Amino acid sequence: MNNKPTSSGIVIENATVQLGGKNVLNDITVILPAGRTIGFIGPSGAGKTTFIRSIVGRQRLASGTILIDGVAAGSPVLRKRLSYMTQSVSVYGDLTTRENVRYFAAMTGARRNDARQMADSVLATVGLTPQSRQLASSLSGGQKQRLSLAIALLGDPEYLVLDEPTVGLDPVLREQLWKLFGELAQAGKTLIISSHAMDEASRCDDLVLIRDAQLLAHGSPEELCSRTHSKTVEESFLKLVKGDE
């Protein structure tokens, strides 16, 4: 278990992002509790990636603030506490699975022996030990996603921000990844996972529903379904869009 002190979470106040003179995030205020699996759910183009990039400090706000445990998003002090897995798989195809992880471990400043130990540990966590000597280019799509996740786990970050980690995967591979996400959450990680697949929403502890750059709703799947008298999050989302609460 992760024995680090309980964090205060992510506090977002009046966050607005402008690109090309247009608001791609519009005056969002929400508090995201630490130690939970938080789903950013919404259709493609809703603003999920922009929101995630703002949280990890890669997107400048036009106005508003984002604080992570009281520290401004993007601050150097957060670099070892927060990890970001982008939509695109960023691994080197001509390196083996283990060599990829060891390379990224070295980039964090880890010594050679420490990098070896870190690589073996995170590969075991994501179930890729049998593929450790395999070239990354020969891995399946799901295995490459798990390799990207292994790299994101380097340094034991408290916050894992994962942008569409299951996109394009078949149901079996999606199930495997969500099982792993659950195990990470049980170990004390805070996971922020974006998805446009409504069926994945029920797997989260907390949901942020986004549409057209706006925060549509925030709460647990049960709370949102109860609020809209719906049986599923998808039905709840559609009712919220139509204003039929």
Beta strand 82-85 with 71-72 is unpaired
Q: Would the pLDDT of 239 be above 80?
A: yes
Q: What is the mean pLDDT of residues 46-73?
A: 95
Span 7-41, pLDDT tens digits: 479 999 999 999 988 999 999 999 999 999 999 99
Domains, the chain, in order of start with CATH, read 7-81+157-214 (3.40.50.300), 91-156 (no CATH)
What is the pLDDT of the chain when averaged over all its residues?
90
pTM of the model: 0.86
Strand partners, 47: none
Span 121-153, pLDDT tens digits: 999 998 899 999 999 999 988 899 889 999 999
Buried/exposed 30-61: b ≥16 CB within 10 Å, e otherwise: bebebbbbbbbbbeeebbbbbbbbbbbbebeb
Q: What is the pLDDT of residue 148?
A: 92
By CB neighbour count within 10 A (0-12 exposed, 13-18 middle, 19+ buried), where does 217 fall?
buried
